């Protein structure tokens, strides 16, 4: 799996945030399909994505060149669709038709909090590595590989 990820209101991880909007949007499509997977999910169905990014629509409909920054993201999306038997199609919409969704996509999570890394390390040394799972974390602030989050993180 690739090392890029979007996590809903939590925002992009450090690596993904430098990729640009097109790989981020293709990644978001992938994560949305994964999050809806299940008995009532998109498996075995046609799914239409509406986007205000023409490059995203072109990559979903036609693919990406190996040299393109979106190649890895596009390949993961393609294989997820193949594995789930999803027929994916994208349709471009002008940004003026997407203003509300665009606004909400930029809202940060105000309740995202965590111990300072230095405090966590101090407790870790003090108590002799008792921690297995970081509770109430996100992909941006977890202190352990295993953590619980209110937001999807595949």
Total domains in the fold of the chain: 2
- pLDDT > 90? residue 75: yes
Look up the domain containing 122 and give its range.
110-154
Span 68-88, mean pLDDT? 91
**CB burial string 18-34: b at 16+ within 10 A, e below:** ebeebbbbbbbbbbebb
Mean of pLDDT over the chain: 79
Looking at the fold, whether 54 and 94 belong to one and the same domain comes out as: yes
Q: What pLDDT is stored for residue 146 in this prediction? A: 79
Domain boundary residue among 89, 105, 121? 105
* Span 96-151, pLDDT tens digits: 887 887 787 777 666 667 778 888 888 888 887 778 888 767 777 888 887 777 66
Establish if 72 belongs to a structural domain: yes
Q: What pLDDT is stored for residue 108 in this prediction? A: 66
Looking at the fold, whether 63 and 139 belong to one and the same domain comes out as: no
Looking at the fold, whether 21 and 70 belong to one and the same domain comes out as: yes
- pLDDT > 60? residue 49: yes
Looking at the fold, whether 89 and 117 belong to one and the same domain comes out as: no
Computed on alpha carbons and rounded to an integer, the radius of gyration of the chain in Å comes to 18
């Amino acid at each position: 799996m690739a090392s890029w990820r979007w996590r809903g209101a939590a925002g992009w991880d450090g690596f993904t945030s430098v990729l640009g909007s097109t790989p981020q949007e293709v990644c978001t499509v992938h994560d949305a399909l994964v999050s809806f997977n299940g008995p009532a999910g998109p498996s075995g169905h046609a799914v239409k994505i509406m986007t205000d990014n023409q490059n995203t629509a072109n990559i979903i409909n036609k693919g990406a060149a190996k040299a393109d920054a979106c190649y890895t993201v596009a390949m993961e999306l393609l294989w997820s669709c193949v594995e789930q038997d999803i027929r994916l199609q994208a349709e471009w919409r002008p940004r003026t038709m997407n203003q509300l969704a665009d606004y909400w996509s930029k809202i940060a999570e105000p309740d995202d909090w965590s111990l300072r890394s230095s405090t966590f390390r101090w407790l870790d040394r003090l108590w002799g590595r008792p921690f297995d799972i970081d509770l109430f974390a996100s992909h941006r602030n977890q202190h352990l590989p295993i953590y619980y989050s209110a937001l999807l993180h595949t």
